[in-house]
Amino acid sequence: MKQNTSTALLKLFVIAVAAVAFGLAAFSVGLGAGVAIQSRSPAAARPSVEVAQELVCPSADQELAAQPTAQPTATPASSRRATGDMPFFGQQADDSPLDIELFDEAWRLLEQQFYGDLPQGKEVTYAAIRGVLASLGDKHTTFADPEEAAMFNMDMQGVFEGIGAQVNLAADGGVELQYLFADQPAEKAGLRVGDVVIAVDGQDITNLDLNAAVSRIRGPRGTQVTLTIRRGNDKPFDVTVTRARIELQVVETKTLADGKIEYIALTDFSTLAPRRLAVALSAAVAKKPAGIVLDLRGNPGGLLDSAIQVGSYFVPEGNILIERYKDGNEEVHPRRGRYLLGDIPLAVLVDGGSASASEIVAGAIQDAGTGVLIGEKTYGKGSVQLSNVLSDDSQLKITIARWFTPKDRAIHGQGLEPDIVVPFTNEDHEAGRDPQLDRAVEYLLQGK
Q: Which residues are catalytic?
A: 356, 367, 381
Distance separating alpha carbons of residues 396 and 133, to the nearest angstrom: 10
DSSP class per residue in 201-212: TTEE-TTS-HHH
For residue 152, give the 3-state DSSP assignment.
helix
CA distances from 147 to 11, 136, 397 (A): 24, 24, 15
Burial bucket for residue 96 (CB in 10 Å: 0-12, 13-18, 19+): middle
Q: With CA atoms as reference, report the closest residue to 169 among 375, 353, 402.
A: 353
Burial bucket for residue 297 (CB in 10 Å: 0-12, 13-18, 19+): buried
CB 277 within 8 A of CB 251: yes
CB 439 within 8 A of CB 374: yes
According to DSSP, the residues that pair with 240 across neighbouring strands are: 226
CA distances from 438 to 31, 314, 370 (A): 43, 22, 20
Distance separating alpha carbons of residues 448 and 440, to the nearest angstrom: 9
DSSP class per residue in 57-105: -SBBBB--EEEEEEPP------S---SSSS-TT-SPPTT--S-HHHHHH
CB-based contacts of 289, cutoff 8 Å, min separation 6: 255, 259, 260, 261, 262, 344
According to DSSP, the residues that pair with 405 across neighbouring strands are: none
| CA triple 98-101-102, angle to 5 deg | 75
Distance separating alpha carbons of residues 86 and 46, to the nearest angstrom: 52
